[in-house]
Amino acid sequence: MQTALLCVLVAGLLPYAFTGVAKAVGPRYDNRDVRAWQSHLNGVPYRAHAAHLNSFEAFPLFAAAVLAAMVAGANPGRVNALALAFIVLRLAYFGAYLANLALLRSLLWFGAIGCSVAIFVAALRAA
């Protein structure tokens, strides 16, 4: 399950990459008052920041699922595949968010959450 653990690391770092996009394409970033700067974002920088926040929300379930699967001795091939799918879906989610494709973004969000749930189910079956 080395791949799944690597995916946990990547998922944990994605929010920082997403906020980096907001800072790179948004108005001049003010590190002295980050919250005020964020509250004035709109368009692509705003959506990048929103994806950043959502990534923090999606991470705990995914990380807990992978760890539960490891402890329970779930099928490593299945867990690795689902973890990779989670990362791909989250990256696609970010792209859909930036492109302002709300329906696609929601479908990708559900797919990624579904991967986390499926990893938990694999852990439950193995326990």
Instruction: Give Cα 81 distance to the centre of its chain.
Output: 16
Rounded mean pLDDT, 17-31: 89
From CA 66, how far away is CA 40, in angstroms rounded?
Answer: 36
CA 68, distance to chain mean position in Å, is: 18
User: Looking at residues 35-62, what average pLDDT do you find?
Assistant: 94
Q: What is the rounded distance in angstroms from the CA atom of residue 107 to the CA atom of residue 93?
A: 8
Domains of the chain, earliest start first: 2-126 (1.20.120.550)
Token pair of 60 as six digits = 């705990």
Does pLDDT of 34 surpass 90? no
- For residue 51, the model assigns a pLDDT of 96
pLDDT tens by residue, 57-115? 999 999 999 999 999 999 999 999 999 999 999 999 999 999 999 999 999 999 999 99
pLDDT over 80 (residue 30): no
